[in-house]
Homo-oligomer: A and B are copies of this chain.
């Protein structure tokens, strides 16, 4: 088993033991993920990045991975594959010669 598969199985076991599948439609899972993303952002609110509480980052980031893996599982998406596919696509949208050192969106480059 790869490490991503291992995580998926651990998360699914946790969920099934609590009979939580009934709540886990894609829409609410995406909503839950965005709420965790907001909690991660809260760790940085009113401060410089360097002053963040790493323990909080660790915890909220874990929650984000948790829901992201559940969503991938819900839609039978292979995490490794979709990330590599997106990188290929982004490489076309952001060619090195245009995007080098620029934070602009592809449609502004």
Contacts and interface: CB of A to CB of B under 8 A. Distances in A.
B48 A41 contact: no
The A contact surface, by secondary structure, is helix
A20 B54 contact: no
Interface residues of A, number: 72
Contacts of A86: 59, 62-63, 66
Given A28-B46, A64-B68, A65-B68, 7 more contacts: A7-B80, A11-B83, A20-B101, A27-B44, A30-B41, A57-B77, A61-B71
15 contacts: A3-B80, A10-B84, A17-B96, A20-B103, A23-B46, A26-B49, A26-B52, A26-B57, A28-B45, A34-B37, A37-B37, A47-B103, A58-B82, A65-B83, A66-B83
